[in-house]
């Protein structure tokens, strides 16, 4: 094995451990309370190792958000790739299936930049599934932003305030998204 390859693997492993430690600390304290010292202790590394990989504590958070965006793209490709219908609810449900998504994506600390990147990626990919000529590009963009943004907001609310009557509320939520999707898909709207 070449020396550079081993060093790269160790570096990736250390960066991943630092990010994992950061997320574990989020279980016990707000993001703004996490310090380099606490992070080093949780990751079982020294400060020199931390600064070898990151310049600031904020760089760790940005790295976590970038990793989540890449995961969102992969999840989205799998979700859209195997179905013809637009189903942003399934995408959001898939997002919630990992602890990292739940802790970071639905946290109050999520950056507007990451949310906008996910929205733009999702609307771009879902926009390609809508038949040409039926709606203007602007109408598609407004619809997709409405549905995806709404699903993300509802899921964030559900994460922070678990539904007491889960089945009843979930059925309502599914009917709501089906109605909105069906309306846009042309079941209730006339053709242009």
The answer to whether 36 and 84 are in contact (CB under 8 A) is no
Going by C-beta distance under 8 Å and a sequence separation of 6 or more, which residues neighbour residue 101?
68, 71, 95
Burial 104-123 (b: 16+ CB within 10 A, else e): bbbeeebeeebeebbeebbb
The pTM score is 0.71
Q: Where are the alpha helices (DSSP H) in 44-165?
A: 47-53, 57-81, 88-95, 99-100, 112-127, 137-160
Residue 192: what pLDDT? 46
| Fold observed for domain 1-55 | Arc Repressor Mutant, subunit A (1.10.10)
Residue 34: what pLDDT? 95
Q: Where are the domains of the chain?
A: 1-55, 57-185
In angstroms and rounded to an integer, the radius of gyration of the C-alpha atoms of the chain is 20
Residue 19: what pLDDT? 94
- From first to last of its 192 residues, the chain has per-residue pLDDT tens of 455 566 788 889 999 999 999 999 988 888 899 999 999 999 999 999 999 999 999 999 999 989 888 887 887 777 665 543 445 555 555 554 555 666 677 777 777 888 888 888 887 777 777 777 777 888 888 888 887 788 778 877 877 777 788 788 878 887 887 777 666 655 434 454
Residue 189: what pLDDT? 46
The answer to whether 88 and 147 are in contact (CB under 8 A) is yes
């Amino acid at each position: 094995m070449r020396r550079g390859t081993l060093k790269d693997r160790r570096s990736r492993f250390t960066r991943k451990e630092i990010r994992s430690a950061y997320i574990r600390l989020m279980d016990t304290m707000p993001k703004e309370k996490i310090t380099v010292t606490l992070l080093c202790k949780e990751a079982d590394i020294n400060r020199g190792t931390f600064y070898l990989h990151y310049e600031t504590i904020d760089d760790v958070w940005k790295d976590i958000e970038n990793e989540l965006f890449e995961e969102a793209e992969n999840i989205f490709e799998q979700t859209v790739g195997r179905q013809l219908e637009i189903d942003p609810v399934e995408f959001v449900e898939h997002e919630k299936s990992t602890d990292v998504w739940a802790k970071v994506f639905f946290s109050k600390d999520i950056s507007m930049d990451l949310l906008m990147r996910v929205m733009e990626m999702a609307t771009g990919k879902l926009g390609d599934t809508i038949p040409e000529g039926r709606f203007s590009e602007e109408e598609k963009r407004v619809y997709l932003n409405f549905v995806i943004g709404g699903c993300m907001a509802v899921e964030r609310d559900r994460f922070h305030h678990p539904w007491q009557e889960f089945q009843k509320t979930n059925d309502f939520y599914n009917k709501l998204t089906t109605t909105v999707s069906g309306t846009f898909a042309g079941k209730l709207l006339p053709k242009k």
